Chain A
């Protein structure tokens, strides 16, 4: 029997009758991935206009990036901010997720909602609000201020990942450990933690990425010698299409793809 005339679902429809759906889905998936991926070959174009396919291949935009202190400094700042955000957001978010999940109290639902608000509040409000308050305290353009703001954006993501990890984990194991005399803390560290460690690593990766890719808060809170990469890119984009950004974009796509695939792989381990 031909695949096209095989039954395709719970109804009697065949793959042949459904071919349009497969075609449409393929087009949409192409449109989703194509604009991101096309930047990669374009970044190796020798022309100012980044044509595709490039008439002449070159790595001049990568050299441009590497040789401009402004870009390199911004990259270092972004990596620093993302790293410290990861170090802060992962334990803070994991603790909160664990506390709220295990206690299951009514109050917890409101706390959960409050901690999720950074995902929903228009970021511009967080940006100008913190800009104003930090200005009063005198910590504008400082890395710690930006790290704290990014941490608040990353905590909800850590909490979502950790809550879903805890949902598939059997908490009774902790009870067993405790009934055998382990303290709550010991039970967590020796029984629970080893079993959710991959989810913790995944949430750390996403916390890193959240900070590294963040634009609006960085525009307001970073500046001078501490401008982030996204801030520099945004400023450069408003003036003209700087081809160097294609090279930087390619590097950022490689970074996020690696982290995402790494997370997917780790997700299968837990």
Chain B
């Protein structure tokens, strides 16, 4: 008897607690579920207004779509690779310095992380311009003789995107390295491994889940990039998000734009499913917080 009462009281309480999420759920429904659902249905409407797959067929037929997807994957892949190359040593360094100092060094990761993406993109535009600091510096040092076009192309875009995405790589990597049991390294050392052997055979394999998590999150976020390639690419680097906008601005074709958006979304979710095997979302955002 008592047990039953307790059970029903518990269920009631669970319901009440879940009810606290209702405002959040309503806003997500209004801003994500309905709009994205609407786009989804628009993508299946042809020019005549009936159900049709023509928007998706276009993507296969026209080479321009293929180029946009190729560029998007290319840029995302290269950004991810460079983020690993730069992020791993930095995360490793952070995992090795005394606890007291981590906070100070971590500011160098968190400061850009929380600085407006637009501001950082602008900063690179200024640095990379023809009369910019990097050209001036290289000419003064005799590295090259005349100003080189550094922005408004693929390289400029990559530089900006790597800089913007690097904290997203370092934070999960650092979290993963933090979890590695230090005794395993001591044991390896006691058993006669040189520091280099211990690093490559013990530490690196144990840190791989962090590399996977960081890479997937960087890659996923890169797929949807818009501002940085639009500003630093100079019209030469067209990524999916930009193509969507272009279709809307030039042709006002909601069906085609929506179809492209749906493909982008599905791609993102496929990689996210992969990612969910490795990562907890909250460990990415704030490192130790």
Nearest B residue (CB) for A130: B35
Q: Which residues of A are in contact with B by a Cβ distance under 8 Å?
A: 8-13, 17, 21-22, 24-25, 28-29, 31-33, 35-36, 38-39, 42, 49-52, 88, 91-93, 95-96, 98-100, 102-103, 105, 107-108, 111, 114-126, 128-130, 132-133, 148-149, 151-152, 155, 157, 159-161, 163-164, 184, 206, 209, 212-213, 215-216, 230, 233-234, 237-238, 241, 245-246, 249, 252-253, 256-257, 259-260, 264, 267
Q: Smallest Cβ distance from B13 to chain A, in angstroms? A: 8
Complex Cα distance, B194 from A241, in Å, reads 53
Flag if A39 contacts B119 (CB, 8 Å): yes
Complex Cα distance, B13 from A98, in Å, reads 13
Q: Smallest Cβ distance from B236 to chain A, in angstroms? A: 14
A-B contact pairs, 18 of them (CB 8 A): A9-B185, A10-B189, A11-B188, A22-B93, A88-B27, A99-B21, A103-B17, A111-B25, A120-B220, A120-B268, A121-B265, A124-B264, A125-B36, A125-B264, A126-B32, A209-B114, A241-B125, A257-B114
Pick from A111, A125, A163, A230: contact of B39, CB under 8 Å: A125
Tell me whether B127 is interfacial, beta carbon within 8 Å. yes
Pick from B13, B35, B127, B185: contact of A126, CB under 8 Å: B35
Flag if A51 contacts B27 (CB, 8 Å): no
Nearest B residue (CB) for A120: B272
Residue count of chain B within 8 Å CB distance of chain A: 95
- Complex interface: chain B residues within 8 A of A39 (CB): 119, 122-123, 126
Flag if A9 contacts B96 (CB, 8 Å): yes
Total CB contacts across the A-B interface at under 8 A = 282
Flag if B126 contacts A42 (CB, 8 Å): yes
Segment of B49-57, B59-67, B105-113, B205-213 in the binding face: B105-113
- Complex interface: chain A residues within 8 A of B111 (CB): 32-33, 36, 257, 260
Nearest A residue (CB) for B35: A129
- Complex interface: chain B residues within 8 A of A249 (CB): 116, 119, 122-123
Pick from A38, A122, A216: contact of B265, CB under 8 Å: A122
Q: Smallest Cβ distance from A82 to chain B, in angstroms? A: 12
- Complex interface: chain A residues within 8 A of B289 (CB): 161, 164, 267
Complex Cα distance, B117 from A212, in Å, reads 11
Complex Cα distance, B83 from A31, in Å, reads 12
Q: Smallest Cβ distance from A32 to chain B, in angstroms? A: 5
Looking at A31, A118, A155, A257, which has the most chain B CB atoms within 10 Å of its CB?
A: A31
Q: Smallest Cβ distance from A70 to chain B, in angstroms? A: 17
Pick from A24, A31, A130, A157: contact of B31, CB under 8 Å: A130
Complex Cα distance, B102 from A264, in Å, reads 13
Flag if A38 contacts B20 (CB, 8 Å): no
Other A-B pairs beyond A29-B90, A115-B28, A123-B224, 4, CB < 8 Å: A38-B133, A128-B257, A132-B38, A234-B118
Pick from B42, B188, B261, B281: contact of A116, CB under 8 Å: B281
